[in-house]
Amino acid sequence: MTRSPAAVRRRRALGACAAAALAGGVAIGAANGPDGGHRSRPVAASRTPALPPAARRKGAHEAARLSLDRLAGELVVIRFRGTTAPRYVLRALRRGRAAGVILFADNVRSPGQLARLTAALRRAAPRPPVIAVDQEGGPVRRIPWAAPFAGQPAQAAGGTVGATARAGARDLRRAGVTVVLAPVADVAAGPRSAVATRSFGSRGPQVAATVTAAVRGWLAGHVAPTLKHFPGLGAATANTDFRRVTVARSAPALRADLAAFRAGIAAGAPLVMVGHALYPALDPAHIASQSRRTIAGLLRRDLGFDGVVVTDSLEARAVTSRSPVGTAAARSVGAGADLALTTGRGSFLPVLRALRAAAHRNAGFARRVRVAAARVLALRRTLSPNVP
């Protein structure tokens, strides 16, 4: 279809906005700070970039050429059941209606089966897809024969964090996995912490050092690590998967627990997962995954993170008790998230449709989608397309 000169100019302008926003490392709309105040001094750039500059430029240029509907697809991760990929999943990857998938235990039967499954996913996608898995070690492991075997507390105690991450990357890459949803960067606030069995420890400096080692190990093995659960679930006593959670800590206390996230970002972690707890000291009105103050302000502006922000599962009770998943996805993307993680049956289409509708309805949201998609496209250019 022939486009009018005005439409072409609008398209080019949106592309320029995306490129400029990526070059600046902040989300569009954050120029004056998350709460309308003056922006604080940005974090110094003496760290490993989350996404290589060349990949970022190419991602922005690619995003400038795509339609809004196509760009919205880059913001969605699909969950499916079974040991083979359903046709709708392969079709979604082929047509750019999803950036990738997340795998769970029911998707995994044997090394050969998993390798065939991930190969089919890669063949369907025009560029390396996000193929993500929770593989922290200990109680959170989806691939039983792959490292890490020990949980993060045991890894830290044994001084094996870096070596364990490298081994895990080798095993996951052989299986065709491109993104690992680890390490947990939360600092556990005692034995009642919801992440006590999953955190590297209860002392900020120790957790920061081990997170650095984990990130470097995963990156050395060419699997993209994900810091979670920003801005920290260490003081939570319940899991957001099952109920609403409020972390009633002061802003200084919350910021003190960010040392591990700072360290992981400095080490080059390309993804950060934002959680679903409510932090009244940071934003009394919105859970973290839907809070512009938390994502665009604290994570992007204050910590200087310029990689991909992925939500925790949109089917968590802390989310669905507040809104349908489509509404939640739009709120998260509007707040600065780049990837909406769906893990429930039937969530993919409502999320995709909600993102598309919001982008067509609101010019500011359309710019946010373009920036987010450019980041995801840049990330996908860094994912290893082959297994060893």
Boundaries of every domain in the chain? 5-382
pLDDT single digits (tens) 161-189: 999 999 999 999 999 999 999 999 999 99
**pLDDT score of 40:** 36
- The percent of residues above 90 in pLDDT, for the chain, comes to 85
Q: Is the pLDDT of residue 44 over 70?
A: no
**pLDDT score of 388:** 62
pLDDT single digits (tens) 345-380: 889 999 999 999 999 999 999 999 999 999 999 999
Q: Could you tell me which CATH number the domain at 5-382 has? A: 3.20.20.300
Q: Output the average pLDDT for the chain.
A: 90
152 token code pair? 């993060």
pTM value? 0.89
Q: Averaged over 37-60, what is the pLDDT?
A: 71
How many residues belong to the chain? Answer: 388
Q: Is the pLDDT of residue 26 over 50?
A: no
> 120 falls in which pLDDT band (50, 70, 90)?
very high
> 24 falls in which pLDDT band (50, 70, 90)?
very low
